[in-house]
Amino acid sequence: MQREEKQMDATIDALIQRVGEIKTTIAQFIMKLEHEYTTMTWPNVLDNFALISGQINTLNRFLKNDKTPALRNHILLPLVLAPEPDLELEKLTESRVRAFNHEVVPDYLRTKPEPDIEEKYGSVTSRSTSLSTDNLQKQVNTLNKVSANLIEMVNSTREQWESDITKTAALPQTTSQADTQKLVSAVSFGKSLKPRRPEPVGLPGPMNHMPQQNMPMNQGMSPGHGQPHGPPGGYNHMYQGHMGMNMNPQMKMQSSMKGNIKSGGHNHPYGRP
């Protein structure tokens, strides 16, 4: 009797230790998901899942070991039920259970499923036992056929996708990411565009390149006459036109007034009638 009790105590201690390791691993994984989700990669997630799965498999192997006593043969009964809060129980359960009363005992010490689940499980079991062997075999064959068709569809679709990806990769590239970025920068921000040079102000054509002489207005004019001295022909008119283009508005006004006075005053706004 003492040997069985010692073996049971050792088994319970080992179970508590292994369950505590699983709980710690799950808590660390949840902390990483909540605080390190921005830097966490998919391989890290798979590693955490693999660690938790390995610990659970180790616990299951320990429970199925021949040296481990069958825990289902032992009955767990509450010794004391109290509606008042129990500080020791709250500490052991990490504040999950504050009191061991009639409300929590059916949930924590339940050895059978809930009545609704047990009823559904019984109905499914009765239906499975009522079917004949031939009917069951037909349903299994139908299920296997449907599964095989789904697997074939998935494989064919995957092969088609892979072939499309291979064809797309083999096509020559018709776009350039660098050129696209340069074009977008030029349109949006004017990057790499040459500034437009301002056009020179003056006469168009060859007259614009002629040297301009800053001559006073009365130079080359005979006293008492309004005709300027200069070379005859079209060059004189061109020279006068060139000087007229370089006059400012005030000088043009004075020149026009002098010309109107010399012509007899008929066109002058202040001339005699």
Q: Which CATH architecture has domain 1-74?
A: Up-down Bundle (1.20)
* 3-state SS, one letter per residue, for the chain: CHHHHHHHHHHHHHHHHHHHHHHHHHHHHHHHHHHCCCCCCHHHHHHHHHHHHHHHHHHHHHHCCCCCCCHHHCCCCCCCCCCCCCHHHHHHCCCCCCCCCCCCHHHHCCCCCCHHHHHHHHHHHHHHHHCCHHHHHHHHHHHHHHHHHHHHHHHHHHHHHHHHHHHHHHCCCCCCHHHHHHHHHHHHHCCCCCCCCCCCCCCCHHHHHCCCCCCCCCCCECCCCCCECCCCCHHHHHHHHHHHHHCCHHHHHHHHHHHHHHCCCCCCCCCCC
For 207-266, the pLDDT digits (tens) are 444 444 444 444 444 444 444 444 444 444 444 444 444 445 555 555 555 554 444 444
Give the per-residue pLDDT at 219. 46
How sure is the predictor about 145, in pLDDT bands with cuts at 50, 70 and 90? very high
Residue 198 has pLDDT above 50, yes or no: yes
pLDDT number for residue 75? 78
Nearest Cα residue to 244 out of 233, 232, 228: 228
What integer pLDDT is reported at residue 248 of this predicted model?
Answer: 53
What percent of the chain lies above the pLDDT cut of 90?
21
Average pLDDT over residues 118-131: 87
What band does 142 get if pLDDT is binned at 50, 70 and 90?
very high
Q: What is the pTM of this model?
A: 0.40
Cα–Cα distances in Å, from 248 out to 69, 77, 244, 254?
A: 119, 118, 8, 10
Asked whether residue 173 carries a pLDDT value surpassing 50, the answer given is yes
50-58 mean pLDDT: 93
Q: Are 58 and 92 in contact (CB under 8 A)?
A: no
- 21-43 tens-digit pLDDT: 999 999 999 999 999 888 888 88
CA end-to-end span of the chain, whole Å?
Answer: 152
